[in-house]
Chain A
Amino acid sequence: DTGVSQNPRHKITKRGQNVTFRCDPISEHNRLYWYRQTLGQGPEFLTYFQNEAQLEKSRLLSDRFSAERPKGSFSTLEIQRTEQGDSAMYLCASSLTYTEAFFGQGTRLTVV
Chain B
Amino acid sequence: QKEVEQNSGPLSVPEGAIASLNCTYSDRVSQSFFWYRQYSGKSPELIMSIYSNGDKEDGRFTAQLNKASQYVSLLIRDSQPSDSATYLCAVNRVGAGANNLFFGTGTRLTVIP
Q: Which residues of A contact B (CB under 8 A)?
A: 33, 35, 40-45, 48, 50, 55-56, 89, 91, 93, 95, 98-106
Q: How far is the CA of A56 from the CA of B99 in the complex (A)?
A: 8
- Count the A-B residue pairs with Cβ separation under 8 angstroms: how many? 55
Q: Which chain B positions have C-beta within 8 A of A33?
A: 101
| Dominant secondary structure of chain A at its interface with chain B | strand
Q: Are A56 and B101 in contact (CB under 8 A)?
A: no
Q: Which chain B positions have C-beta within 8 A of A106?
A: 43
22 pairs, CB–CB < 8 Å, chain A vs chain B: A41-B105, A42-B4, A42-B6, A42-B104, A42-B105, A43-B44, A43-B88, A45-B101, A45-B103, A56-B97, A56-B98, A91-B43, A91-B44, A95-B101, A98-B32, A98-B92, A98-B94, A99-B32, A100-B34, A101-B101, A103-B44, A106-B43
Q: How far is the CA of A1 from the CA of B94 in the complex (A)?
A: 29
